[in-house]
Structures are given as C-alpha cells and as structure tokens.
C-alpha cells in the first residue's frame, strides 16, 4: 500500500504473473481483475534471448485501499 504524492487516498497494488503469454490468457487476467474492482496499471513482458515471443508477463493493477 502506498499513499500518492501530496497525500490523498492510499493505493493497493496487485501483480499477476503468467508464463502463458497468449491473447486469451491476458484477456482472462484483465477481465477477471477489473471485474473485481482493480484498474490496470502496467503490463511488462520478460523476453527470451532466443525467441521474439515473451516468456512471461507481469500485469499490475491498482485500487484505492479499503478502510480497515
């Protein structure tokens, strides 16, 4: 959890890792977590030297932290 610069609402982060880097799998991850109230932040791909296809993807999401 991190509060934005200048104060404001604290933010939670969620990172989903997948080694199945297909369009269907990425769509499933995006649809699943946005339906749970998370917003897409970034998608990072880990590449293999011997291939043009990514070996893994890391999809990060954010949402406002819920009060405890």
Q: What is the pLDDT of residue 63?
A: 95
Q: Cα–Cα distance between 2 and 54 in angstroms, integer?
A: 30
Quick one: the chain helix, strand, coil %, rounded to 5?
Answer: 20, 45, 40
Give the whole-angstrom CA distance, residue 43 versus residue 33. Answer: 13
Q: Which domain holds residue 60?
A: 12-46+53-64
The answer as to whether 37 is a domain residue is yes
Sheet holding 54-64, edge to edge: 11-18, 54-64, 39-47
Q: 25 falls in which pLDDT band (50, 70, 90)?
A: very high
Provide the pLDDT confidence category of residue 66 given band limits of 50, 70 and 90.
confident
Report the domain count for the chain: 1
Domain annotation covers residue 36: yes
Query: Does this model's pTM top 0.85?
Result: no
Give helix then strand counts, H and E, for the chain.
1, 3
16 is a domain residue: yes
Residue range 12-23, pLDDT digits in tens: 999 999 999 999
pLDDT band at 61 (very low <50, low <70, confident <90, very high): very high
Residue at 33 is within a domain: yes
Q: Is residue 29 part of a domain?
A: yes
Domain membership of residue 5 (yes or no) is no
């Amino acid at each position: 959890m991190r509060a934005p610069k200048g104060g404001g609402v604290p933010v939670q982060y969620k990172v989903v890792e997948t080694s199945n880097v297909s369009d269907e799998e990425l769509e499933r991850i995006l649809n699943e977590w946005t339906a749970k109230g998370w917003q897409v932040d970034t998608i990072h791909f880990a590449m293999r030297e011997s291939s043009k296809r990514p070996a893994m993807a890391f999809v990060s999401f954010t949402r406002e932290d819920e009060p405890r």
